[in-house]
Structure 1
Amino acid sequence: MNEVKCVCGHVNPQGTILCESCGRALTEEARQANLHDMRYEGSARRSQTYNRTFIDKIWNFFSSVKVGIWLIVITLIASALGTILPQAMYIPPTADPSEYYGEHYGIFGQVYYLLGFHNLYSSWWYLLLIASIGVSLVICSLDRVIPLYRALKNQRVDRHEGFLKRQRLFNRKDIQVTDADIEKFKKGLKDKRYKIRVKDGSILAEKARFSRWGPYVNHIGLIIFLIGGMLRFVPGMYVDEVLWLRDGETRTIPGTNNEYVLENKKFTVEFYDAEKDGEVFQPALDKAGPVVKEFQSDVVLYQRDPDATLGTGDDLVKVKEHKIRLNEPLKFDDYAIYQVDFKQDEFQSMTFALTDKEEEKEIGEVTIDLFDPQDSYDLGNGYKVELIGYYPDFSGFAENGEPQTDSPNPNNPAFLFKMISPEHPDGEVSFTAIRQTVEPLGETEYKMAFKGIDTRNATALTVRKDMTLWILAVGGAIFLLGVIQGSFWMHRRIWLQRKDGEILIAGHTNKNWYGLKQDITHIISGTSIPDVIDQTDENKGKKVGIHNDRTSSNKQ
């Protein structure tokens, strides 16, 4: 990298506008300016200096604030589009996403699927957008914070006269200031908690420099937060699954790599009763109907023994028993299992009778376990029932006549039977649902008559594991720290120099110029030091503060 040596002897990186040490203007444009651009202290930024190599172009692209904003806007738009149609996790589990979206939502659904919006938040291009925002934050920060740090670290007390007179707040007077006034000026600075540096009659007072790093602390917090969000897609870092358990059922806990098993001993639910809980509840119960008072699952947690033979029943080691209630989860390792929902009287099995329609004679009964249906049921004497289609949550027929199911839970069971009899060895086909029987291949001689149903309670448990939560918390805390740091403090600097019988006074802040002007006004109160003038176009030539009359008389 080429370097630029200032007259003062300080070596600046190529592209520096104002010398990092003395503040002298190094470019013709800076020399002609009425006021210096102090946003980055006039220091060199890599993105504005180098544009030759491929790395330079990548750096310059991501260092642009506009690019970062557009990446955020595109990500927000993509996130919004992902809510138009249900994500793949919410469509029926038996449905093929490649066909489901086109069948239900037409051409828009097909395009939606092809662009990956059906599985948006784990799609490669969405994760790439999130990563690009992180890269933009890193490069934007490095492109600005490094030169800013260099400039603030290297700044001299006795800045160049051209640097001072191009500050927004500045004044110079041909006046003799006594040492007593200088000491009073220093005392005023100390009272305002300024850090003072003195060299050869020049004074630099500075405070709250740390506030300049607030935006970059924000960026660090956001980067950590994004990392935590992306880690949720790493296997084993984040689990959020729903587990339905029926009374007496034992199932592997999802997200535990088959290591843990949960048994539901019993589920109980209690409702508010006006007679037991007080008449005060009666109006609300009359309006809302039954209201749950408490529901709980009595469960047993098992862990698989890696040395035992899988599936023998001896591979489960009891860990503990627990009563899961609302806000009283079962916790183990890094997992927590919460009680979130329940279902009373869930269908468990249904019984049908193969019946001769003309004679109304029952040939035999078939009991179908709704959670483990068999392919065929032999009734003897040449009678047999085959289950050629099972739709646990029947929702109607598709355009092609195929029955549809919304979920694997038996909320509205429907069956497609083939009834084999001596008279019909090839079988007759009947579709049977609750209160509905359809004979798709024509009139049949036999039918499946509904006989009864068995029910049991079911509990819905949420299995959660979040190894990224502390990362998100740290990122959020750092971000808020940066907001506070950059919002409630202002970096303020005041320069005072005595040269050849003249007094030069200047001030700069990154925000709240009124506050800085008030500081200077109070600090010079009672001294012969002149007040500053706001040199912006709308205030040029106007003195500020309570000393206008005094400075005017001095001028006369």
Structure 2
Amino acid sequence: MNKIKCECGHVNPEGTVLCEACGKPVEGNQHIDGNDQRKLLNMRYDGSARRSQTYNKSIVDKIWNFFSSVKVGVWLIVLALIASAIGTVFPQEQYIPPDAPSRAPSVFYEAQYGTIGQIYYQLGFHNLYGSWWYMLLIALIGVSLVICSIDRFVPLYKALRMQKPKRHTTFLKRQRLFSETEQVSADEKEKLVSGLKKQRYKVWEENGHVLAEKGRFSRWGPYVNHIGLILILIAALLRMTTFMYIDDYVWVREGEQTVIPGTEGEYYIKNKDFILETYDENDERFKEAINKQGNVAKNYQTNAIIYKKKGDNVAGADPELEKVTEEKIRMNHPLKFDGYTLYQAGYQQNEFKSMTFKVHETDDPEETSLGSFTIDLTQPKDKYKLDNGFSVDVTQYYPDYELEEDEPASETPYPRNPAFVFTVHPPENEKSETSFVGIGKNIDATGENNYKLGIEDFDTRYVSGLTVRRDYTLPLFIIGAAIFMIGVIQGMYWQHRRIWLHPRGEGIMVAGHTNKNWFGLKKDIEQVIADTNVNMVDDQLETD
């Protein structure tokens, strides 16, 4: 690496704009026109050598230089914002309403939003914030933040740590605030130093040269912001891991026990009872709304028992469980246990639990029952034997029957609209008969059946919809946001102010620089030179 030696004797790294020791502009510097005596000095990063503006040979240099560009960082953020905005056009997959006809994304988006919804789903925007390309975009923003920060922080830190009271006259004359006084007494110089200290400036002196500084910590505000943002981005990336973040949904039927998703079979939940309370339709306060909307839920809750698996499972055997807790899960009153939280998110009414069918003769107007059987709709048997010698085979079962392209199918695996194809075997070796039976449907395929099946009774139950969530990333989000706000306050409400006093013969040169609020710095200098013969500094940006 080439070194640049200044006339003061200090050796600067290649790419330095202003000498680290005396501040004199480096001659022929390629990054900033520091040799034009008519222009003010660009004090960004105090003229230190930045890696991105010095090296451009290896592939590592090119990658570093690419990500150190603020423009690249801004474009990455813009792309992330555009993608995030598109992700809010329709609800994300995890926010599909619990009472939707189908919660399957491939069905829901097309059914609800038509062709646009289908395109939205096919392009992957239905699960945007968990998609690999969105996470990659977030990771690239994080890489850009890290490289941008290091590329600027390190040289700035070195420059501010090495600054000296004695500066080259060119450095002083080309500061924005500057004045020169030809005759100043020693007492007045002492008064200037005393005034700076009263203004809470930290003062360094070297052979009559003075550097007064305060608020340096404000320069690190943007980098503190970056640290906070990087922590937030790391938290967002950690949400891709199930150990750190779970956001799932489970349906639990009354009396049913099922595994809690995301717990890897370690925890189970039992819906002991479901309670639904609605507003009284005779209550004058809600009568108008109920007439428009129908029954409105006042409260719905799941009386739940949480179990934890004990030991290892034996293949084919039911797991041994121990009770963890028993609580009521209501709206805005979730159940919390072992880092997991269960929210009452929805419910379904009148899902069929079982159905009882009777067999009767087709031409019997009284439909006198020749026998009956009951089907458990969650675990139907293949064959049912009746006491009078009849037997019935369940040839086909459609839990949620619908007709697709003239073919029977089940929209969901849940018994919301059950339909069956039965094969009836009469006694005494009579010929078997086939029937299609469902809600409001009883079809004899041949029209020659001697026996008919009809629904005799049915039993329904509630189904509780619960959101399962575990979020270990939230503390990291909070810490990142707090650090980010500290950086905002640090950089917004304080300024880095520096004042140089340079003795020149019997006179003195005064120069000042700040990263913002030039009016405030000017007022500080005005108070320091009050009651002295020192000339007030001119704002050379305005005079130009």
Shorter-chain TM-score: which interval? 0.7 to 0.9
Q: SS at the partner of 1:331?
A: strand
Counterpart among 528, 532, 537 of residue 527 in structure 1: 532
Q: Does 1:227 align with 2:231?
A: no
Q: Does 1:179 align with 2:198?
A: no
Q: SS at the partner of 2:45?
A: coil
Counterpart of 2:268 in structure 1 is 261
From the superposition, tell whether residues 355 and 218 of structure 1 become closer, same or farther in structure 2 (CA, over 3 Å): farther
Counterpart of 1:32 in structure 2 is 36
Tell me the C-alpha RMSD between the 2 structures.
Answer: 3.4
1:35-70 CA distance string (max 9 Å, x none): 111122111111111111111111111111111111
Counterpart of 1:141 in structure 2 is 149
Counterpart of 1:125 in structure 2 is 133
Counterpart among 141, 150, 171 of residue 158 in structure 2: 150
Whether the aligned pair in 1 keeps the contact of 2:383 and 2:391 (CA below 8 Å) is no
Counterpart of 1:553 in structure 2 is none
Q: Distance in 2 between matches of 1:309 and 1:346?
A: 33
Amino acid at match of 1:150: K
Q: Distance in 1 between matches of 2:477 and 2:392?
A: 60
Whether the aligned pair in 2 keeps the contact of 1:430 and 1:447 (CA below 8 Å) is no
Q: SS at the partner of 2:265?
A: coil
Counterpart among 489, 492, 506 of residue 494 in structure 2: 489
1:367-419 CA distance string (max 9 Å, x none): 33333334454557565342524243x5x5445756462x5444x41424244
Counterpart of 1:430 in structure 2 is 436
Whether the aligned pair in 2 keeps the contact of 1:20 and 1:152 (CA below 8 Å) is no
Amino acid at match of 2:125: F
Whether the aligned pair in 1 keeps the contact of 2:105 and 2:121 (CA below 8 Å) is no
Counterpart among 328, 337, 342 of residue 332 in structure 1: 337
Of all paired residues, the percent bearing the same amino acid is: 48
Question: Structure 2: which 5+ runs fail to align?
Answer: none
Whether the aligned pair in 2 keeps the contact of 1:375 and 1:388 (CA below 8 Å) is no
Counterpart of 2:224 in structure 1 is 217
From the superposition, tell whether residues 286 and 113 of structure 1 become closer, same or farther in structure 2 (CA, over 3 Å): closer
Q: How does 1:62-461 map to 2 (within 5 A)?
A: 62-84=67-89, 87=92, 90=96, 97=106, 115-173=123-181, 175-271=182-278, 282-285=284-287, 287-288=289-290, 294-307=299-312, 309=314, 312-313=317-318, 315-354=320-359, 357-360=362-365, 361=367, 362=369, 364-378=371-385, 384-392=392-400, 397-398=403-404, 401=407, 403=409, 405=411, 407-410=412-415, 412-420=416-424, 428=434, 430=436, 432=438, 434-435=439-440, 445=449, 448-461=453-466
Whether the aligned pair in 1 keeps the contact of 2:344 and 2:467 (CA below 8 Å) is yes
Report the Cα offset of residue 13 of structure 1. Answer: 1.8
Q: Distance in 1 between matches of 2:521 and 2:258?
A: 68
Q: Distance in 1 between matches of 2:390 and 2:201?
A: 102
Question: Structure 1: which 5+ runs fail to align?
Answer: 276-280, 542-556
Q: Distance in 1 between matches of 2:47 and 2:448?
A: 91
Q: SS at the partner of 1:41?
A: helix
From the superposition, tell whether residues 3 and 169 of structure 1 become closer, same or farther in structure 2 (CA, over 3 Å): same
Q: SS at the partner of 2:47?
A: coil
Amino acid at match of 2:179: N
Report the Cα offset of residue 262 of structure 1. Answer: 2.1
Amino acid at match of 2:353: Q
Q: SS at the partner of 1:266?
A: strand
Amino acid at match of 1:170: F
Counterpart of 1:10 in structure 2 is 10
Q: SS at the partner of 2:200?
A: coil
Amino acid at match of 1:284: F
Q: SS at the partner of 1:248?
A: coil
Q: Distance in 2 between matches of 1:456 and 1:211?
A: 64
1:244-272 CA distance string (max 9 Å, x none): 33332222222211112222333334556
Q: Distance in 2 between matches of 1:238 and 1:269?
A: 31
Whether the aligned pair in 1 keeps the contact of 2:356 and 2:458 (CA below 8 Å) is yes
Amino acid at match of 1:155: Q
Whether the aligned pair in 1 keeps the contact of 2:398 and 2:410 (CA below 8 Å) is no
Report the Cα offset of residue 216 of structure 1. Answer: 0.9
Amino acid at match of 2:8: C
Q: Distance in 2 between matches of 1:241 and 1:205?
A: 59
Q: Distance in 2 between matches of 1:100 and 1:5?
A: 70
Q: Distance in 2 between matches of 1:417 and 1:318?
A: 41
Counterpart among 498, 507, 514 of residue 509 in structure 1: 514
Q: Bigger shift: 184-193 or 33-42?
A: 184-193
Q: Bigger shift: 125-134 or 281-290?
A: 281-290
Counterpart among 471, 480, 487 of residue 475 in structure 1: 480
From the superposition, tell whether residues 383 and 234 of structure 1 become closer, same or farther in structure 2 (CA, over 3 Å): same
Q: SS at the partner of 1:245?
A: strand
Q: SS at the partner of 1:32?
A: coil
Report the Cα offset of residue 186 of structure 1. Answer: 2.4
